Amino acid sequence: MPYLKSQHLCDVNYEIRGKIAQKSAELLRSGHNIIELNIGNPAQFGFRVPEAINQAITQNIIQAEAYTDSKGIFPARQAVVNEVQLQGIADVKIEHVFLGNGVSELILLAMEALLNPGDEVLIPSPDYPLWTAAVRLSGGKAVHYNCIEEKGWIPDLADMEAKITSRTKAIVVINPNNPTGAVYDRETLTEIVDLARTHNLILYSDEIYNKITYDGIEHIPMASLSTDVLTVTFGGLSKVYRAAGYRVGWLYFSGPVREAEDYIDGITLLASMRLCSNALGQWGVQAALGGIQSIFSLTAPGGRLYNQRNAVYERLNAIDGVHCAKPLGALYAFPSFDLRRFRFKNDEDFVYRFLSEQQVLLVQGKGFNYFSECHFRVVFLPQVDLINDAMDRLEEFLRENQA
Ligand SMILES: Cc1ncc(COP(=O)(O)O)c(C=O)c1O
């Protein structure tokens, strides 16, 4: 008799490391040289963790042998509070900061502690798919609101509002955005806060890319605008500090937290059940958050990330039949091809054939809960030379597949 996975996994997907990535791994094993543009994993492309973070971790290696407090060590949580204060968000208390094994784990805890069967959560489409997966895994219903490509992928507020029902519990905002690279302006964020206030919804603001913006674009923390709405903000070391493998993230509550005591108890219970998050990584947080932020020299004009963002954006738009909105933040572009002009059934067909014919791994738009049939995500972490190599292959592939 076959051993089956549980039914609550039936609608749970994570295609970034899914079937297409497995196919790519097979090709790698059989000797192919694959350009992997599927995962936002900075160290894979030679980015290094700031020295002070590594020193803080190695100097505390003995201390890190023990379990920590379930919410995390004091200096790390206080460092989060201090940073948040400098962003103009007053009144965040250290007991409302939780450290986790990456933002990933905290998203799971936050949804598991919140949702009853059938509760609805508004999630962007396209999304970072862990959000949809976490809501479904927790028995909730992921309801997707559109983001508008023609307007630089900002959320469609009318669509968001139209999808609010008596079961809606929360709105998820990913800013700067994965997969689109959008960074939301004050007006958009204020309107989202207004909606949440009117309908008594919790705001979840995934700000893991908060310091990765280009062209002088300002990232505005949601919590600085939502002082009277319960807000849960997420950040971490994986992207801004290039330490994805250390598995360190945090969340903090702001706004009317007194009304959320029971919910916070729920997260505390779940945090206790997994004892604590990786202690070594926690020792890097204080060193990360203070002082000069080395990410800014990578995103400034002439910096490595800036140049790579430009290379991807320019090369994609130079291809006839391909369009890409300019990423203003994060590490990704989310272009589309004109379905009528090429011989692809859909986005999935496109990425699978591109992988087998040109050995470049991308992820189809569907993997981000976006069902246009013609979008895909490109990670722009590789050096410009490798980006150019991948884009040459894309050009050739599209030339060969014209309708
Ligand atoms: C928007 C977003 N949130 C969360 C995560 C997960 O990050 P972590 O490494 O902290 O688990 C990612 C990773 O790519 C992401 O893009």
Q: Is 1 domain-assigned?
A: no
What's the gap in Å between 101 CA and the centre of ligand 1?
A: 11
Answer whether residue 115 is part of any domain: yes
Residues 378 and 337 in one domain: yes
**Whether residue 126 has its Cβ less than 6 Å from ligand 1:** no
48's CB contacts (< 8 A; 6+ apart) are 242
Three-class DSSP category at 292: coil
Predicted confidence (pLDDT) at residue 90 exceeds the cutoff of 90: no
Residues 191 and 79 in one domain: yes
- The best mutation among 16, 41, 44, 103 to test binding of ligand 1, ranked by most ligand atoms within 8 Å of the C-beta, falls on 103
Mutate to test the pocket of ligand 1, among 208, 248, 334 (most ligand atoms within 8 A of CB): 208
| pLDDT the model gives residue 223 | 98
| Same structural domain, 104 and 122 | yes
Provide the phi-psi class of 14: left if phi over 0, else alpha when psi is between -120 and 50, else beta.
beta
Note whether 337 and 221 are same-domain residues. no
Least confident of 10-14, 74-78, 85-89, 155-159: 10-14
Domain end, chosen from 248, 273, 289, is at 289
Q: Is 25 exposed, middle or buried (0-12, 13-18, 19+ CB in 10 A)?
A: middle
- 7 C-alpha to ligand 1 centroid (Å): 25
Q: Say what the pLDDT of residue 15 is.
A: 85
**CB count in 10 Å sphere of residue 256:** 12
pLDDT tens profile 242-279: 999 999 999 999 999 999 999 999 999 999 999 999 99
**253 in the same domain as 153:** yes
Print the domain residue range for 346.
Answer: 7-48+297-400
Examine the domain organization and report whether 155 and 137 are in the same domain.
yes
Give the Å distance between the CA of 103 and the centre of ligand 1: 6
Share of the chain above pLDDT 90, in %: 96
pLDDT attached to residue 45: 97
Are the CB atoms for 237 and 47 separated by under 8 Å? no
Band (pLDDT 50/70/90 cuts) for residue 290 is: confident
CA of 219 to the centre of ligand 1 (A): 17
Q: Select from 45, 128, 246 the residue to mutate for testing ligand 1; criterion: most ligand atoms less than 8 Å from CB.
A: 128
CATH code for the domain of 325: 3.90.1150.10
Of the candidates 254, 269, 289, which is a domain's last residue?
Answer: 289
**Are 249 and 318 part of one and the same domain?**
no
| Residue 206 belongs to a domain | yes
* Same domain (yes/no): 309, 164: no
Beta strand 141-148 with 154-155 is antiparallel
Residue 42 belongs to a domain: yes
**Sequence-distant (≥ 6) Cβ neighbours of residue 231 within 8 angstroms:** 202, 203, 204, 205, 222, 223, 253, 254, 255
pLDDT for res 280: 97
**89 and 189 share one domain:** yes
For 53, 290, 367, the CA distances from 59, given in Å and listed in that order, are: 10, 17, 40
- What is the Å distance from ligand 1's center to 345 Cα? 30
The best mutation among 107, 130, 247 to test binding of ligand 1, ranked by most ligand atoms within 8 Å of the C-beta, falls on 130
Q: Do the strands 202-206 and 231-236 form a parallel or antiparallel pair, or are they unpaired?
A: parallel
Residue 84 lies in a domain: yes
Both 222 and 76 in one domain: the answer is: yes
Domain stops at, among 235, 257, 289:
289
pLDDT at 311: 98
CA of 180 to the centre of ligand 1 (A): 14
Cβ of 212 below 6 Å from ligand 1: no
> Is residue 2 in some structural domain?
no
With a 6 A CB cut-off, is 236 part of the ligand 1 pocket? yes
pLDDT tens for 45-63 read 999 999 999 999 999 999 9
The pair of three-digit structure tokens given for residue 389, joined into one six-digit string: 């190599």
Tell whether ligand 1 has an atom less than 6 A from the beta carbon of residue 248. Answer: no
Q: Within this chain, do residues 243 and 368 fall inside the same structural domain, yes or no? A: no
**In terms of domains, do 203 and 308 share one?**
no
What crossing angle do the helices spanning 102-114 and 261-273 adopt, rounded to 10°?
130
CA of 146 to the centre of ligand 1 (A): 21
| Amino acid 10: pLDDT | 86
Task: For residue 103, give the CATH number of its domain.
Answer: 3.40.640.10
- As for how many domains the chain has, the answer is 2
- Cβ proximity of 74 and 286 under 8 Å: no
pLDDT band for position 343 (50/70/90)? very high
